[in-house]
Amino acid sequence: MSDNDQFIQRLGYIFKDQALLRLALTHPSAVWEPGSNQQHNQRLEFLGDSVLQLILSRELYEKFPEVGEGLLTKARAQMVNCQTLAEQAIQIGLGDHLRVSRGEELNGGRERPSTLADAFEALLGAIFLDGGYEAAREFVLRQFRGAFGELEVMPNLENPKGELQEILQAKSAEPPTYFLASVSGPDHDRVFECTVHHEGVELGRGRGKRKKIAESQAALAALMTLRQENSYNL
């Protein structure tokens, strides 16, 4: 299997219009070479950024109906930052297939996080144009599954349970405690509901397909409540 075939296999998507793939892989430096009249991937990057924001915004919006705008925005920002996108590009070997200038090559451009992140967005823009929204969505969710799972737990800059404990123990030596409130549904599709308490007061309640997920959701609910009340100077 050739390197190109392996790359296509890692993408999990076959382009109908190969010119779009070539354009997505063309770094601006390649166009600045003497005598070149090629287009580069910055316009696709612009498009891909918007497509990525839309896909992740929709997933977060639908999967976390109780979470407010602030935490949704924070979670999305983590998922689309430069380092995260660069890591996604590395996973599929994107840097090895970029078309860059000789100078960019000598200066390590293929491994530069900003270059990789931009190329990942350009690639997504190309998939969107070639295959439509659903093809782009499938690609994004498949790529992000390794870093953020199935989005069953709210992506957050900190571990919500750890963050909650740190905040509460700054005011009291007593740690938060979690209780299993209920289990519903058939054995193959159970839903757990957990609550988190501190000093005898229920701070939050969460649900999930696993107890651990429900506890994390309860911690997130508690953090939201504490922020809204500002009772812990958050």
Q: Is there a domain that residue 72 lies in?
A: yes
Residue 229 has pLDDT above 70, yes or no: no
Q: Is there a domain that residue 139 lies in?
A: yes
Q: Is there a domain that residue 129 lies in?
A: yes
pLDDT band at 120 (very low <50, low <70, confident <90, very high): very high
Q: Is there a domain that residue 153 lies in?
A: no
Is 203:172 a contact under the CB 8 Å cutoff? no
Q: Is there a domain that residue 84 lies in?
A: yes
Mean pLDDT of 61-77: 81
Give Cα separations from 188 to 151, 191, 212 (angstroms): 20, 10, 17
Number of H helices, E strands in the chain: 11, 3
Mean pLDDT of 22-41: 82
Enumerate the β-bridge partners of residue 71: none
Rounded Cα distance, 69 and 73, in Å: 6
Instruction: Among 120, 148, 176, identify where a domain stops.
Output: 148
CATH of the domain at 44: 1.10.1520.10
Q: Provide the number of structural domains found in the chain.
A: 2
Catalytic residues: 49, 121
CATH of the domain at 192: 3.30.160.20
Domain that holds residue 142: 3-148
pLDDT tens digits along 161-196: 888 888 898 888 899 999 999 999 888 778 889 999
Same domain as 144, residue 35: yes
Residue 94 has pLDDT above 50, yes or no: yes
Is 198:223 a contact under the CB 8 Å cutoff? no
Q: Is there a domain that residue 122 lies in?
A: yes
